[in-house]
Chains A and B, each alone.
Chain A
């Protein structure tokens, strides 16, 4: 089959690879109909996530049709149309039973590697480094899906792929970002990053009752989408205005009740020297992540408020404002999304017409064009917001 593979820093290549086969009795093989490039794939592309190997198949946002099931699979049948959640979860361990599927205790065969870097291991993830399992990803014609009765959600009707695909990651991730804010009537929520996850965090914050939602980015097309499509009430282009001063002004000195970091480890900042400092430290691996958005979110957040982190971090950050965080009674909520618990309710919201997630899609390409898609998405060329690939 054809598959998009990681071939070193800033290099991906569509190659011929063997077709997947059942390795565990609870596996299913899915013929992929739609797959997407995620912002977190760019961290792999840019070489910031350790334990990648040349030839690794990328991709963790995919959907398709079941063409084979292992002997222990009961609920899923050949012919079912499914969306697959990006974290792999067994459904049986203590974490899964508490709904914390992205920290499943059984799904990472390389848990020992993850423990060395993270202390304990999270779940395995499709196409996302060997420390997170070494699972082949879904930017391919076919994929093997472990725990087929636990993860994939069946689509009963003929809603198009483009509305369902993002149930695999970015819609639930954005939703969880807002969900963790415990939004109360009157709350003001600020969202750093108006990429696809940020857009869905904005949509979700509105759905969950936020009074105002402020989008922060530097690309006018992303801010425009946040306002026109996602429902942001206010916009801050941080290249044109000071984020902290504007938030101060918008909330009359209170600060946002909740701050969502939808940026993560490759944060950009307009203060040249600080950006250079973090980039330099990142380059020599003295710090693995550039946490500018996170620092700013903490400084901006209202006393007693919530900092909700859904942007991906890989290792260690520097100059973390612990004093402000502690003294002002802030709370931090974070995690890779526990996609499994959000899929069914979000599918209902899509069916009910409350959300049409396809608004983030700006580019549709063939799987063969994946390398061009990565480049374009990374460089924000041609107003690129989200790339969907068809095998």
Chain B
């Protein structure tokens, strides 16, 4: 991770540098002309503002947006070449006074330094991109934790969860869990664009009315593990349920899809799962509204239907 962290810092630094320099060139092209020892007149200001400033600013925005940062970094390298050739022209001019010549020399030295940094960053980002697909960074495991209080006895709440076939009733991404005997089960989850992920899991530890722990076995596409704990809530307030899930999405395109599925607001997703769990245990079913016909769902919260009767 050390190298990718330093790359990210370098890229960020270059992006901000572009934004800063671009802003200065756009707003005060004359001052920048004088600073680098160039002639300062109407024409040179136009060149400085638009050929220099606008270009730098666009590169800065592009890099900071992190969309194809590699292309924007290579664009910076090209821009550096342009700057160097213009500074070379300033230095080569026989009519320069010594002060301006030395300013141009300092500016050229600075551009050479930045060019090196640009080439290093562009090379690294291009290489990482090729390795990791469009995500541009290595996958790490996703952790999700949440708790909820269910107004039912520990017995009842534990029994409902212990029957893994019940899990798809409240876990949004699960399609089915099929018991295979001996504490093993087959899990099926839907992924975006109609894809499906399937794996086998086994209960690794369990104490009646206290906790259940499970994890995927064999070569699951998505390595995952979960643990749920049950505790009587004080003063007859029902049962406190706490869940901790861990996913380790694989590399590659499927991994990216899976990471997207599980990785968006993982705590919110598990919280919504637990809300549905509480609804199912307390009221018998998932509560639906016109705006959210499938019940609590993290993704739906961003894309609500209008609160009008559902047609289909």
Chain A residues proximal to chain B, CB less than 8 Å: 3, 5, 17-21, 23-26, 51, 53-57, 72, 90, 92-94, 97, 105-113, 124, 127, 130, 133-137, 144, 146-147
Contact = CB atoms under 8 A, between A and B. Distances in A.
B307 A53 contact: yes
B272 A112 contact: yes
A171 to B, nearest CB: 25
Interface stretch (B42-50, B92-100, B132-140, B287-295): B287-295
A109 B307 contact: no
Contacts of A92: 151, 282-283
Nearest to B265: A112
Contact of B296 (A3, A51, A111, A135): A111
Interface stretch (B3-11, B66-74, B154-162, B297-305): B297-305
Which of B268, B287, B293 has the most CB atoms of chain A within a 10 A radius of its CB? B287
A127 to B, nearest CB: 7
B109 interface: no
B248 interface: no
Contacts of B208: none
Given A21-B310, A97-B151, A134 B282 contact: no
Contacts of A107: 287
A94 B309 contact: no
Given A18-B308, A94-B151, A111-B296, A135 B283 contact: no
Nearest to B281: A92
B149 A112 contact: no
B271 A106 contact: no
B182 interface: no
Given A56-B306, A110-B292, A112-B271, A105 B278 contact: yes
Interface in B256-275: 268, 271-272, 275
6 closest cross-chain pairs (CB), A and B: A134-B291, A55-B306, A109-B292, A56-B307, A20-B309, A23-B288
Q: Is the interface of A mostly helix, strand, loop or mixed?
A: loop
A288 B278 CA distance: 32
Given A26-B283, A109-B287, A93 B278 contact: yes
A316 B278 CA distance: 30
Nearest to A54: B306
A93 B283 CA distance: 8
B113 to A, nearest CB: 44
A213 to B, nearest CB: 38
A23 B290 CA distance: 8
Nearest to A96: B151
Contact of B289 (A3, A21, A90, A134): A134
B301 A133 contact: no
A52 to B, nearest CB: 9
Nearest to B268: A112
5 contacts: A56-B306, A90-B287, A111-B272, A112-B301, A130-B307
A109 B295 contact: yes
Contact of A106 (B287, B291, B301, B304): B287
B293 A23 contact: yes
Which of A55, A106, A113, A144 has the most CB atoms of chain B within a 10 A radius of its CB? A106
Given A93-B278, A106-B287, 19 more contacts: A17-B308, A18-B311, A19-B309, A23-B288, A24-B287, A26-B284, A53-B305, A53-B307, A92-B282, A109-B296, A110-B291, A112-B298, A130-B291, A130-B292, A133-B291, A134-B290, A135-B291, A144-B309, A147-B283
Interface of B: 149, 151, 237-238, 268, 271-272, 275, 278-279, 282-293, 295-296, 298, 301, 304-311
A94 B238 CA distance: 8
A21 B307 contact: no
Contacts of B149: 94
Which of A5, A51, A57, A105 has the most CB atoms of chain B within a 10 A radius of its CB? A105
Given A93-B151, A105-B278, A136 B283 contact: no
Which of B237, B292, B295, B296 has the most CB atoms of chain A within a 10 A radius of its CB? B292
Contacts of A146: 287-289
Contacts of B268: 112
Contacts of A124: 287, 289
A30 B311 CA distance: 18
B307 A135 contact: yes
Contacts of A5: 306, 308
Contact of A53 (B288, B304, B309, B311): B304
A113 B284 contact: no
A53 to B, nearest CB: 5
A346 to B, nearest CB: 26
A5 B305 CA distance: 13
Contacts of A3: 308
A127 B307 contact: yes
Given A21-B310, A94-B237, A107-B287, A134 B151 contact: no
Contacts of A18: 308-311
A55 B283 contact: no
Contacts of B279: 90, 106
Nearest to B279: A106
Contact of A136 (B238, B282, B296, B308): B308
Contacts of B292: 109-110, 130, 133-134
A56 B290 CA distance: 9
B305 A134 contact: yes
Nearest to A58: B307
A93 B296 CA distance: 17
Contacts of B272: 111-112
B297 to A, nearest CB: 8
A17 B275 CA distance: 30
Nearest to A124: B289
Contact of B310 (A23, A51, A112): A23
Nearest to A131: B301
B284 A134 contact: no
A136 B290 CA distance: 6
Given A21-B309, A53-B307, A134-B289, A90 B282 contact: yes
